[in-house]
Structure 1
C-alpha cells in the first residue's frame, strides 16, 4: 500500500520511465504542466488531487479506495 506523497511520486516516476516517457511527454499527454509532473514525482504533498488522478490514469495506474472502518460508500 502507498501512504505518502513521496511513494506516489516514486511510483509515477518508475512507471513513466518504464514506459519510456520523458516528464515533458507525460505532461503533454496528461494535459498538465511540466512543473506539476516534476513536483509530483518529488512527492510534493500539495499537488491537486484531480490532476494526480489524471496522471495516474494516463499511466494506467489503478486507484482503489477502501474505508478504514470497512464500510461502503453509503455509510
Structure 2
C-alpha cells in the first residue's frame, strides 16, 4: 500500500501558486513542455504561471492545478482583532 503525500502550502500571491505548481511538476518528473501538454495549456502560459505572472487567467490556473492533481481550498481566516 502506498502512502499519499499531502502537500499543504498557503498561497497569498501568484508567485506562491507558481512555486507550488513547479514543485509538483518536478516531483512528478515532468518537463515544462510535458506538463503544459498534459494540462492542455501552452508552454508559454505554463512558464508564466510557474514564474508567478499575476495576470494569468484564473480558469486556466484551475485547469493546470486540477490536471497536476493539486486541489484548491478556500478558508475563512480570523481577523487580528477577533
Higher Cα radius of gyration:
2
Report how many aligned residue pairs link the two structures. 69
| Partner SS state of residue 11, structure 2 | coil
Shift in Å, 1:66: 2.5
Q: Give TM-score scaled by structure 1 length.
A: 0.86
Name the structure where helix makes up a greater proportion of residues.
1
1:48 paired with 2:65, answer: no
- The corresponding residue for 1:11 is 20
Runs of 4+ deviating beyond 3 Å = none
For structure 1, the residue ranges without an aligned partner over 5 or more in a row are: 70-75
For structure 2, the residue ranges without an aligned partner over 5 or more in a row are: 1-9
In the TM superposition, 1:1-75 aligns within 5 A as 1-67=10-76
Q: Give TM-score scaled by structure 2 length.
A: 0.79
